[in-house]
Chains A and B, each alone.
Chain A
């Protein structure tokens, strides 16, 4: 009986969701980190998740862990260009480039990450209960 794998699987999910929450916090915090060119402005980051299946003999091949493959920087975008001649960062024509971050999207992403984190946490709590009951068998 290897309920220990449950902790490994849920732990990988907690880790992945925490990376995601970190990127969201970083994006929201740097919403006003402007630059004189699109390249100089803050570039929003997004994590990339993928599933890993256990390959060893005797392991449960149906159980999948999640891993963070990469944290990608979005390409520079000139979409959020503002005319602010007084800004010390303004270019020759008086424009400042702000990062292209959609606050609504980030907030929705944050809620989704929180929910996923919670559900994996509940799996862990449940696994703990099952294991405790299994240990007390025969008492």
Chain B
């Protein structure tokens, strides 16, 4: 039985890339917390995951996959809890919570990857 690194690692490399993109978007929201008229945005994991799993991003196996950053339809505006007079929809607590959650998810994906790589290493060495 041949070992395929791609299938052994599963969805985790893409998940890690997505977490990186999301961290940037939330950092952008936090950076613009005092910019008048700025609308907070976020990316949805479900949309990108569905696209990756169903494989509809490529029509041929030889085509390069579109990076998650180019899928702009997955970029959504956040609905604020309170309205502000300057039209800014960034809420510090919400963004900080999302950022920490995203950082935790990033570390989770990393741990999964680490474990998968560990088992691959064991398979290569033949359990020695």
Contact = CB atoms under 8 A, between A and B. Distances in A.
- The finding on whether chains A and B are genuine partners in a shared complex, rather than unrelated, reads yes
Given A61-B69, A64-B28, A138-B117, A119 B33 contact: yes
Interface in B24-45: 24-25, 27-36, 38, 41, 43
Contact of B20 (A3, A10, A126): A3
B10 to A, nearest CB: 15
A9 B75 contact: no
Question: Interface majority SS on B: helix, strand, loop or mixed?
Answer: helix
A65 B28 contact: yes
A91 B38 CA distance: 45
B106 to A, nearest CB: 5
B63 to A, nearest CB: 16
A10 B106 contact: no
Interface of A (DSSP majority class): helix
B107 interface: yes
Contact of B38 (A51, A119, A120, A123): A51
B24 A126 contact: no
Interface residues on B, range: 35 or more
B43 A51 contact: no
Contact of A138 (B24, B31, B33, B114): B114
Contacts of A133: 107, 110
Report, nearest first, the 8 A-B pairs whose CB atoms are least far apart.
A13-B31, A64-B28, A63-B24, A63-B28, A62-B25, A49-B35, A9-B27, A60-B69
28 contacts: A2-B20, A2-B24, A3-B20, A3-B23, A6-B27, A9-B24, A9-B31, A13-B31, A16-B31, A59-B69, A60-B21, A60-B25, A60-B69, A61-B72, A62-B25, A63-B24, A66-B32, A115-B92, A116-B33, A119-B30, A119-B33, A119-B92, A122-B96, A123-B27, A126-B99, A133-B110, A134-B16, A134-B110
